[in-house]
Amino acid sequence: MLFFWCFLDIFVLSLHINGYTMKKAGFWHRVFDLYYDGFRSMTLGKVLWTVILIKLFIIFVVLKVFFFPDFLKENAREGEESDFVATELINRVEELKD
Amino acid sequence: MLNLLSIDASMIEWSRAQFALTAIYHWLFVPLTLGLAVIMGIVETCYYRTRKPFWKDAAKFWQKLFGVNFAMGVATGIILEFEFGTNWSNYSWFVGDIFGAPLAVEGIVAFFMESTFVAVMFFGWKKVSVGFHLASTWLTGLGATISAWWILVANAWMQYPVGCEFNPDTMRNEMMSFAEVALSPFAIDKFCHTVISAWIIGAVFVVAVSCWYLMKGREKKLAVESIKIAAIVGLVASVGAALTGHQSAARVAEVQPMKLAAMEALYNGGVDQSLTGIALINPFEQPDYEKGEEASMKIAVPYALSILATNDPHGYVPGINDILNGYTKPDGTVELSMDEKIERGKKAIEALAAYRQAKFASSDDGSIAASHLKVLQENMPYFGYGYIRDKGELVPFVPINFYAFRVMVGVGCLLILFFMVVLFFVYKKDITAAPKWLHWSAIIMVPLAYIASESGWLVAEFGRQPWTIQDMLPTCASVSNLQSSSVIITFFIFLVLFTTMLAVEINILLKQIKKGPEHENN
């Protein structure tokens, strides 16, 4: 599925990139050129990309690593997650009575 | 080893609050993305048909604002998935691949479709043909809409779990029919209502920005032409949201009658039910529904609730007490009382424990496990009720549902009127010379439309309490056995982070609006 999308995207893109100077260039070069020129000539985009990168850093490096560990990975033995959840769900009834 | 007897009640509330905060923040960006996608697509279609540079500038301008919003919204939804893994680990395991499959499809579509076509849309003006650029613009919107579809499929499954079977060995729900999950009627209704209401947000935003230009006496052509497009989209979407809202309400009446009863503060149901327009309910405490007294200062539309719920003015709509105590549906089927459901839920949990014990005991030849499995399967539809201590816990907080529903419907009606007035001025009069109140009201409509949109989400999510998965798993069983202090810390970190990010977004957006379109083609 993933490769299908990749292939389709690049194939369709390659059919339609029609810059005059690019016509003789190779397929990968034309795709590269679209992104390269696009990123190089960004103005507002630079600000937005800076915000996005800061945000991604906070989300994936700070929040995920320090504040959002995978609870089951940390508390259940590998391959025994179902036993852990079963114990949790069965015992939770008693916990809630207290 | 965790102390399993120490589940902290406030942890459940803080985890819910944190999830709600993240979802509300994420939902600020999504509807504007979906709504602006339609309008910028139409504007660029005008350019494709006329090849007039004005339309190209207009398309680029709305795409720029779309880009700001898109960039700010990127990855905010990922935090919800982190919360599933940390705060809601029992739930995450229990839902199994039912949740994983739609989210995986969403991830692939979002990444490859949106990212590819967004790049062509912003970088490709001079690189690709006009037709392919137009297709990329529409496909960007389509990609976002398809993403929304899969997220809403996952959400709809929690409200109306279909196409699955619980496996007591793996403790997971296994998908029996992908089509049943992906094309669940609840998902279709939810998708139509949610996406159409998102178009309203986009339309209101465009009309508001355009009216601001008119107030400032600049960009008149862009403003007028944009208002013509956005007001039509807005009116069609507002009427569409009302129609799909009716369909959603009928579906809720069918599969989540308690939610509808809470939305209406309907304590004792019956036939020929009227729809409450407005009434006075104490917003801070749960009403005494057992007494069955009607809310004060009630103004109601006769038969309208029966029509809304059953498409029949004489249709039967159960109230909170009916649902708690059990009732007979018009087709003769008996809905069990909550006490009976709680008993059956307890049986299911006991059978699960006994089944797992027998399964792993060497003395059992399989017959004991099989007998427990039979009991479990018979009572599985009520599994979640086994965690309910008192049937009162099964009544969602009525005031929030009651008022949020009225805010959503009230603002929705106001928007229909607003778009009609705007269309009258833009087509029959001169909107550039329209009274200032109209321009101001357009700007005021932006926060109001957002409040209506978020209110809809509140009704959907508060109305299904105490369930994370309807009838199968309540929040108290879904939550991880964490210390509430850790959730409280991250809640406030999010509050600061989201507020800062929102301030940055609004700042960048306002700067771009003040800057206006670039007239490179004129």
Q: Is B198 exposed, middle or buried (0-12, 13-18, 19+ CB in 10 A)?
A: buried
Is the pLDDT reported for residue B418 higher than 80?
yes
Contact between chains at B490 and A67 (C-beta distance less than 8 A): yes
Q: Which residue of A lies nearest to B389 if distances are taken between CA atoms?
A: A97
Q: Which residues pair with B301 in a beta bridge?
A: B275
Q: Give the residue-averaged pLDDT of B358-380.
A: 86
How many residues are recorded in chain A? 98
Q: What is the distance between the alpha carbons of residues B42 and B33, in angstroms, rounded to a whole number?
A: 14
Supply angle C-alpha B135, B139, B144, rounded to 5: 160
Provide CB contacts within 8 A for B367, sequence distance 6+: none
Pairwise CB contact (< 8 Å): B4 & A87: yes
Q: Which of A13, A34, A97 sits opposite B389 (nearest CB)?
A: A97
On the 0-12 / 13-18 / 19+ scale of CB atoms within 10 A, B12 is buried
Confidence of residue A31 (pLDDT cuts 50, 70, 90): confident
Q: Identify which of B514, B502, B512 has the alpha carbon closest to the alpha carbon of residue B67.
A: B512
Q: Which residues of B touch A74 (CB under 8 A)?
A: none
How many CB atoms within 10 Å of residue B493?
16
Chain B residues whose CB is inside 8 A of the A13 CB are 116, 120, 128
pLDDT at B522 over 70: no
How confident is the model at residue A3, as a pLDDT?
42
- DSSP element (H, E) containing B53: helix B53-73
Structure tokens at B439: 């321009």
Q: Where is pLDDT greater, at B32 or A63?
A: B32
B489 and A34: CB-CB below 8 Å? no
Classify burial at B297, counting beta carbons within 10 Å of its beta carbon; exposed 0-12, middle 13-18, buried 19 or more: exposed
Candidate from B71, B83, B476 with C-beta closest to A51: B71
What phi and psi values does residue B174 have, to the nearest 5 degrees? -110, 140
**B1 confidence band (pLDDT: 50, 70, 90):** very low
> Is B112 in contact with A5 (Cβ distance < 8 A)?
yes
Contact B119 A22 (CB under 8 A): no
- Considering only alpha carbons, which residue of chain B is nearest residue A20? B127
Mutate to test the interface with A, among B15, B19, B128, B343 (most CBs of A within 10 A): B128
Question: Is the bond into B283 cis (omega within 30 degrees of 0)?
Answer: no
Shortest CA gap A23–chain B (Å): 11
Please spell the DSSP secondary structure of B201-230, one letter per residue.
HHHHHHHHHHHHHHHHT--HHHHHHHHHHH
A82: nearest CB among B119, B120, B170? B170
- Of A52, A68, A98, nearest to B85 by CB-CB distance is A68
Q: What span, in angstroms and rounded, lies between the C-alpha atoms of B173 and B177? A: 12
Return the pLDDT at B372.
93
pLDDT tens-digit readout, B48-89: 999 999 999 999 999 999 999 998 888 788 888 889 999 999
Residue A98: predicted pLDDT: 60
Q: Let me know if A61 is exposed, middle or buried by CB neighbors in 10 A (0-12, 13-18, 19+).
A: exposed
**Which among A37, A59, A97 has CB closest to B123?**
A37
Q: Which of A45, A59, A52 is nearest to B77 (CA)?
A: A59
User: Looking at residue A2, what is its pLDDT?
Assistant: 42
The partner residue sitting opposite B129, judged by closest CB among A18, A55, A72, is A18
Q: Which of B478, B488, B466, B500 is nearest to B90 (CA)?
A: B478
Task: Please say if the pLDDT value at position B346 is more than 90.
Answer: yes
- The answer to whether B172 and B472 are in contact (CB under 8 A) is no
Asked if A9 lies within 8 A of B353 by C-beta distance, the reply is: no
Using the structure block, give the residue that is written with the tokens 């389709």.
A8
If pLDDT is split at 50, 70 and 90, which confidence band does B515 have? very high
Residues of A in contact with B92 (CB under 8 A): 72
**CB of B94 within 8 A of CB of B173?**
yes
Backbone angles phi, psi at B114, to 5 degrees: -65, -50
pLDDT at A35 over 90: no
Six-digit token string for A55 = 């945000």
The whole-angstrom distance between B41's CA and the closest CA on chain A is 19
Between the alpha carbon of residue B19 and those of residues B70, B91, B177, B447, the distances in Å are 21, 14, 29, 22
B68/A88 Cβ within 8 A: no
SS3 B76: coil
Q: How many angstroms away from the CA of B132 is the closest CA of chain A? A: 7
A65: nearest CA in chain B?
B82
Q: Who has greater pLDDT, B338 or B482? A: B338
How far is Cα B359 from Cα B105, in angstroms, rounded to an integer?
A: 35
A6 → chain B, closest CA residue: B112
Residue with tokens 């299911």: B348
Residues of chain A found within 8 Å of residue B169, distances taken between Cβ atoms: 82
Residue to mutate among A1, A20, A48, with most B CBs inside 10 A, is A48
CA nearest to A22 within chain B = B127
Is A44's CB within 8 Å of B68's CB?
yes
What does the alpha-carbon distance between residue A35 and residue A26 come to, in Å, rounded to a whole number? 15
Using a pLDDT cut of 90, give the percent of chain B over it: 75
pLDDT digits (tens, 9 = 90+) for B75-132: 788 888 889 999 999 999 999 778 777 777 777 777 778 778 998 999 989 888 999 9
Residue B94 to residue A75, Cβ atoms within 8 A: no
* Structure tokens given for A70: 């995978």
CB B240 within 8 Å of CB B232: no
Q: Inspect the interface and report whether the beta carbons of B389 and A96 lie closer than 8 Å.
A: yes
Angle of helix B130-159 relative to helix B9-50, nearest 10 degrees?
150
Q: Does the distance separating the beta carbons of B72 and A51 come in below 8 Å?
A: yes
Asked if pLDDT for residue B237 goes beyond 90, the answer is yes
In this structure, the strands spanning B334-335 and B467-469 are: unpaired
Predicted local distance difference test score (pLDDT) of residue B273: 94
pLDDT per residue as tens digits for the range A39-82:
888 888 888 989 889 989 998 898 888 889 899 999 988 889 99
How many CB pairs (< 8 A) connect A and B?
155
- Residue B488 burial (10 A CB sphere; 0-12, 13-18, 19+): middle
